[in-house]
Amino acid sequence: MGVRTRYDYELDELQRALLQLSDAVQAAIARALWSLQHNDESAARRVAREDKAINVRRADVEERALQVIAAQQPLASDLRFLLATVHVADELERIGDYAVGTARLVLRHAQEPDESPPAELGALSDQVRQMLRTSVEAFAKRDANVAATIEATDDCVDALTAQIQASMLTRISATPRTALRSLHYLFVAHNLERIGDRAVNIAERTTYLVTGKQPRG
């Protein structure tokens, strides 16, 4: 294998590792939301248990990138890709942490009075999961035009989060016995909103990768 061929192979393998990390994180989000909606303690425990594997995958992405930098002395465009990949991997690991936070809430409120999640929570989950899929796919395809679309969707996410906050505060006042579970739903909504924010960060990092222009502060 020639030097350039080996180099391209390493870059491809790095991106593949990043996409595998993304798949693992997206599965964790889906499982955490399932455990919440179905009060499934087994699924919640699995999310918490598998978080270590997500952390290992994130570390592997970073180590691969550092090895390429040390061995290949990449040009500016490839260096941007390597640094952006590490940044995206870090965002994905943090998103995985939000899934774990949701799973732990399921375990914590399993014995509390039953109270269904707010209707808007499913829509919020769908929005942020789609944002994450779109932003990671755009990064893999070097699509710098997706950032504006992701940011527009993020406005919808913020509006849904505000609706959930209002409905949960009303529920707490009306049925104090379920207040703790309602507070947990508020926390989950906050976690989902933060996932949306990190999807925006990934989209902006894609713009940086393609154009060389730093994301806004």
pLDDT, tens digit, 9 for 90 and up, residues 20-47: 999 999 999 999 999 998 889 999 999 9
Domain boundaries, the chain: 3-211
Q: For residue 32, which amino acid is it?
A: A
Coil, strand or helix at 82: helix
pLDDT at 151: 86
Please give the pLDDT value at position 5: 81
Q: Given its phi and psi angles, is residue 214 left (phi above 0), alpha (psi -120 to 50 degrees) or beta?
A: beta
Q: Are 164 and 186 in contact (CB under 8 A)?
A: yes
Whole-angstrom distance, CA of residue 32 vs CA of residue 120 = 16
Structure tokens at 98: 């939000």
Q: What beta strand segments (E) does the chain contain?
A: none
50-55, long-range: CB < 8 A, 24+ apart: 50/24, 51/96, 51/97, 51/99, 51/100, 53/24, 54/21, 54/24, 54/25, 54/28, 54/92, 54/93, 54/96, 55/93, 55/96
Architecture of domain 3-211 in CATH?
Up-down Bundle (1.20)
Helix (H) / strand (E) containing 128: helix 119-141
| Stretches in the chain below the pLDDT threshold 50 | 1
pLDDT computed for residue 4 by the predictor: 62
Helix, strand, coil % (nearest 5) of the chain? 85, 0, 15
Which amino acid makes up residue 80? R
Give the global pTM.
0.92
Which of 195, 183, 192 lies closest to 109, judged by CA?
183
| Cα separation, 32 vs 118, whole angstroms | 16
Look at residue 217 in the predicted model and tell me its pLDDT: 52
Q: Quote the CA–CA distance of 134 and 75 in Å, as a whole number.
A: 28
Amino acid (one-letter) located at 171? R
